Structure 1
Amino acid sequence: MNQSHTPTASWTLVMTGATRGLGLVAARSTVSTDPSCQLVVLARGGGPAGFVDGFGAGAERVVVVDADLADTASTVAAAARIRRMLDDTALPPLRGLAGNAGVQFVDDHQAGADGLEATFAVNVFANHLLIGELGGHLTRGSRIIITVSDTHFGDFRHNLGMVPAPQWTTPARLSRPGAFGGASPSAGRTAYSTSKLAAIHLVHEWARRLPDGVEIVSYNPGYVPGTDLAREASALQRWMNKWVLPGLALVSPLDRVPTAGRRLASAILGAPQADTGAYVDRGRVSDSSAESHDPEREHDLWDHLEELRSEISQRQ
């Protein structure tokens, strides 16, 4: 854990997915915009070399906690370290949680330390764990942001034909490798779109359960060319994503990484105002897909995630 000196900030934001791409832009923008914000970043190995220094004058308000979000025990341990810092007043009161981390693989066979399918573990379960483990410390006026994706719509308008539509099945099946056919890029991308649908379901269920004064919203940045989301793709696809597709943002409604990151920062800081459970699409409150509104499915997902969480507690 890389910890700064005792912070002078007045509120704490815990963030995942803040070491690269739009998450890095959002983290730096949040810290520079609000000098009262103490940022706690969860990152494997303490983040890339020089990560904290990149915040310039705001570096003294950045703490990095080592966490592997694909490893549930690591995520729970990181949350426990943050709770101790909050209890010891080494951190100011917790008022924000941004679950921005996301992964996509070339198949659906990737598994974390617990045997959970890695896309599900990072994109869904890690968010549930962090909210559950840190929720008791969230103060009134807090906002939780979970980064989702418009690939959950499953149509050409929203995914440009690059990502298959979600394929919902039981949460127990979704959480294990091989739910979408195995060793193919299509399976990996289906796991991704389905995980983002699950994340919206999770936001809806948490919105019903969080106390008054603590809101949770889904945030869709849209397709953002030039991020590292496709880092597990083929060499050609990675080259296209890095050098060709960013040009589309110059002649289309797509956002480039700096714009997408600043919009995420605004959402973290409370703009736009939104009812808890809302879907925020690139800076405006919008409607998620009809399929994403399913209370029975959301309750089933919650129950399964709580069963997994209980299993972790019993092993510790």
Structure 2
Amino acid sequence: MAFSIVMTGASRGIGRVAAERILERAADAHLVVAGRESTTAKVAAELSAGGRAVSHVAVDLGSMASVREAAAEIGRRLDGGELPPLRGFVGNAGIQHTDALTESADGFEATFAVNVLANHLFLRLLEGRLTAPARVVITVSDTHFGDFRHNLGMVPAPVWQAPEALARTGAFPKPNSTAAGRTAYSTSKLAAIYLVHEYARRLPEGIEVIAYNPGFVPGTDLARNADAVSRFAMRRLLPAMTVTPLATDLASAGRNLGDVVTGAIAAPSGSYVDRDHVAPSSQESYDPAREAELWDVAERLTAVESLDR
């Protein structure tokens, strides 16, 4: 029976590979790619080759108003029968900036806005439309461990603070530095894991939520806002590390994400999938008090409680 999966971050990198994998493994899936109009329309057309069911919806994940509009549009298509029942949401889009001063359209720190708040709002708006059995997958990062083995010395460890502070610019020392931008990134991925744990407690029975870590994947566009030297290293030098256990090649990371989404990689709700298997996330990532506090702040900042759901 046909069903829909909504996916952000499907236009490039591991997301593009994952989208292909989902359509390959789930022949009945209608994939809705959500992203900027300038790219997702083209991606949807390419993915639909051979008669596969793919459509797109425009969204700017840096704008909470745009996320609301996209969710409402998906709802209209579901209600009108244009889309089959919704059984999946993939929050794969992510951003990393070279400072901790960049603001989103709503005045939030941009990394936190896209990597945490946009996923939260999108999922909360679509939650009531998910039909069990359903699976939600949020792409996270092993940078949240904060040690050399996971970060290779390239990304500082997360620095947890009150969520209200993390949502605003200037939360970290030397906020105009690349180090602060990367700290904002690792901290946002820790926050995403906290929310996955909270979703697992709150989502209805039959709706699973998984945190997926692709590992260090050189060659993606995540560092597109970095300096020229860093971009060159990511695209030309560091891909050689994929022959070691320290990194994952783009194709494998994308296939693994697709397999998590389709259930080919089994994982209980609330779990952390490290590449292709369930594993513990960092010790710091298990903190019910932080999870509950972050949930409350994310609800308030995205005005979920004021929406007619």
TM-score, normalisation: structure 1: 0.93
CA separation of 1:225 and 1:131: change in aligned 2, threshold 3 A? same
1:159 corresponds to 2:137: no
1:32 corresponds to 2:18: no
Give 1:275's match in structure 2, choosing from 265, 268, 275.
268
Shift of 1:161: 0.5
1:41 corresponds to 2:33: yes
Can you list the C-alpha shifts for 1:198-225, whole angstroms capped at 9, x where unaligned? 0000000111100110010100000001
Give 2:237's match in structure 1, choosing from 244, 251, 254.
244
> Is the 8 Å Cα contact of residues 52 and 59 (structure 1) preserved in structure 2?
no
Aligned-partner residue type, residue 143 of structure 2: T
Can you list the C-alpha shifts for 1:175-216, whole angstroms capped at 9, x where unaligned? 011101310000000000000000000000111100110010
Give 1:295's match in structure 2, choosing from 288, 297, 300.
288
Shift of 1:49: 6.7
Sequence identity percentage: 53
- Measured in 2, the distance between the counterparts of 1:277 and 1:58 equals 35
> Is the 8 Å Cα contact of residues 79 and 133 (structure 1) preserved in structure 2?
yes
Where does residue 277 of structure 2 map in the other structure?
A: 284
Shift of 1:69: 0.2
Q: CA RMSD in A?
A: 1.5
Can you list the C-alpha shifts for 1:225-270, whole angstroms capped at 9, x where unaligned? 1000000100011011011111111344522111110110000001
> Is the 8 Å Cα contact of residues 271 and 283 (structure 1) preserved in structure 2?
no
Where does residue 6 of structure 1 map in the other structure?
A: none
CA separation of 1:219 and 1:61: change in aligned 2, threshold 3 A? same
Give 1:66's match in structure 2, choosing from 35, 58, 67.
58
Can you list the C-alpha shifts for 1:73-101, whole angstroms capped at 9, x where unaligned? 00111001001111111100000100001
Where does residue 42 of structure 2 map in the other structure?
A: 50
Aligned-partner residue type, residue 264 of structure 2: A
- Measured in 1, the distance between the counterparts of 2:51 and 2:63 equals 28
> Is the 8 Å Cα contact of residues 73 and 312 (structure 1) preserved in structure 2?
no
Where does residue 5 of structure 1 map in the other structure?
A: none
Return 5+ residue gaps in structure 1 as ranges. Answer: 1-8
- Measured in 2, the distance between the counterparts of 1:81 and 1:311 equals 17
Where does residue 3 of structure 1 map in the other structure?
A: none
Can you list the C-alpha shifts for 1:15-74, whole angstroms capped at 9, x where unaligned? 001100000000111112221010001111252573223225356511111100011100
Where does residue 255 of structure 1 map in the other structure?
A: 248
1:145 corresponds to 2:134: no
Shift of 1:14: 0.3
- Measured in 2, the distance between the counterparts of 1:59 and 1:110 equals 41
TM-score, normalisation: structure 2: 0.95
Return 5+ residue gaps in structure 2 as ranges. Answer: none
- Measured in 2, the distance between the counterparts of 1:156 and 1:272 equals 27
Give 1:19's match in structure 2, choosing from 7, 11, 26.
11
CA separation of 1:59 and 1:201: change in aligned 2, threshold 3 A? farther
> Is the 8 Å Cα contact of residues 4 and 31 (structure 2) preserved in structure 1?
yes
- Give the aligned length: 306
- Measured in 2, the distance between the counterparts of 1:299 and 1:49 equals 37
> Is the 8 Å Cα contact of residues 33 and 40 (structure 2) preserved in structure 1?
no
Where does residue 174 of structure 1 map in the other structure?
A: 166
Instruction: Give the 5 Å matches for 1:113-132.
Output: 113-132=105-124
1:209 corresponds to 2:194: no
- Measured in 1, the distance between the counterparts of 2:188 and 2:180 equals 12
CA separation of 1:284 and 1:252: change in aligned 2, threshold 3 A? closer
CA separation of 1:58 and 1:287: change in aligned 2, threshold 3 A? farther
